Structure 1
């Protein structure tokens, strides 16, 4: 099996077509097709489904693509080491970030990084869904939550605490719940875009965590919309601290049960496993982490828990 065929396969996946990979390597389409077929024959598996309109990667092809990308990156790194390219930050990065952090700090942080490195371009999508890094072609993803895919590398950046909060208007009108159990008697607005916990809010004692099942008139998958409803005095919310931190500081929202709320999620920089991580990814992750830590008071009440 030739390393060049692995690199060519990686390029076919990246470009999404034989013709573009052929053009990039000054080859004919038939030559690219024959080399991919040779790779499939040597492995004894089908890597791609071919139709007249599109290419679809098989499960085996997806697995091989990760290794092939490493081969391609290792080759590029070896060439860069002697050409001086390795010391530069250039090229393109495709990344996905959550909407709350994107609005709060990542849009500005990534734009600043690009300004420092004018030969670099970044395509940053802001979306809360858990994207498929390999099949969707992402180089870097910022995620909040739990990572289950062991084929990916996840670097912890910071912890994101959640808070229970309500507006002064709501508290004055309906009273202040004295214990988490009292929330069962209040209109609790629910954030549905999460793995669990929309109507089971997590609290803690000295010995253990427990859940309080709540109900309310509004449920939404948009945290910013839920924040507005809570600010308007329509109910009590259970939200990421970073989203409502300015509202807590200026008194537009009141934090309830400060020492008893248990929900805390990790924020991670996630990228495909490779032995030769590009310098541009390493430096961007470092820059992003520094921006999170500079705003750590938005995410955690106790700095020692960052």
Structure 2
């Protein structure tokens, strides 16, 4: 049994080295000394009679044998993790580790409170969550679940629907006191647009759907930010109108602080999905958490 545990550790160590690109970072992740990590990998290569890594003082690269070992080790380590998770489920003890990624704003506003609620209910579950708008490689970064707003055109992963990613055209009640309420998209040209910038490009058009037909409206604005939360604060300050995620402005809409414009014109959106690899599909913990997220979001929407 001890030998099997040692082999499992060696596989985890090798996976960490490949993913971190460094013996020191991998050793830190597994809480072992860097010198021990180097010695253990040498032992692994000797026992397999194969060179797994090409290493010099400045670089580290994986060999063909190392790539084969890495892919196999990923499967074995994941199967072991799933076995422990599923056995814990049978004992009605939910435990394990979840590594999650999500878009920055959605992660902070929607997912973070759900993770907190889940952790409070199931304290034995460990979380590592990264909220970023950078698209990560789920395979390479060994992510259990990636929450993304997408149209699922080219995603090479399994996916479970979570919620619609709806957008709202809105302005503060204060701002509209001195402005005419728009009736058609062209009326927006008389108002002050607060736009989102992306890679220094101003997103100055809105794609509407009205009576089943696409309506494209080009607009101009004098306030531009690359952060939706900042845009929301600017809208609440009464400086103009903007397109914002419904989940961000839901409470302000309900209280009347913010008013929806052109409610008959739907803004094109996407859907949030939980993406995961084929390797994770039988994980009781992964599926349990995804179901929990979906239930929490649906309950919030109904409230």
TM-score, normalising length: structure 1:
0.76
Q: Which residue of 2 aligns with 1:120?
A: 125
- 1:224-256 deviations in Å (ceiling 9; x for gaps): 110111111111111111111111111111111
Q: Does 1:191 pair with 2:191?
A: no
Gaps of 5+ in 2: 1-5
Q: Which residue of 2 aligns with 1:210?
A: 215
Q: What is the alpha-carbon distance in structure 2 between the residues aligned to residue 225 and residue 238 of structure 1?
A: 12
- 2:291 aligns with one of 286, 291, 294: 286
Q: Does 1:222 pair with 2:243?
A: no
- 1:96 aligns with one of 97, 101, 105: 101
Q: What is the alpha-carbon distance in structure 1 between the residues aligned to residue 195 and residue 64 of structure 2?
A: 37
Superposition deviation, residue 6 in structure 1? 11
Q: CA RMSD in A?
A: 3.8
8 A Cα contact 2:15 2:74, kept in partner:
no
Q: Which residue of 1 aligns with 2:148?
A: 143
- 2:275 aligns with one of 266, 270, 284: 270
Superposition deviation, residue 293 in structure 1? 0.7
TM-score, normalising length: structure 2:
0.77
Cα 1:6/1:296, change in 2 over 3 Å: same
Q: Which residue of 1 aligns with 2:256?
A: 251
8 A Cα contact 2:51 2:66, kept in partner:
no
- 1:96-154 deviations in Å (ceiling 9; x for gaps): 22333333332222122222323221122222332222223322122123345543222
Q: Which residue of 2 aligns with 1:160?
A: 165
Q: Which residue of 2 aligns with 1:13?
A: 15
Gaps of 5+ in 1: 41-47, 299-306
8 A Cα contact 1:62 1:134, kept in partner:
no
8 A Cα contact 2:163 2:271, kept in partner:
yes
Task: Please show how residues 31-46 of structure 1 align to structure 2 within 5 Å.
Answer: 31-34=43-46, 38=50
Superposition deviation, residue 199 in structure 1? 1.5
SS at match of 1:28: helix
Q: What is the alpha-carbon distance in structure 1 between the residues aligned to residue 15 and residue 108 of structure 2?
A: 31
Superposition deviation, residue 92 in structure 1? 1.9
Q: Does 1:261 pair with 2:261?
A: no
SS at match of 2:16: helix
8 A Cα contact 1:77 1:86, kept in partner:
no
Q: What is the alpha-carbon distance in structure 1 between the residues aligned to residue 81 and residue 285 of structure 2?
A: 13
Cα 1:260/1:31, change in 2 over 3 Å: same
Q: What is the alpha-carbon distance in structure 1 between the residues aligned to residue 169 and residue 272 of structure 2?
A: 20
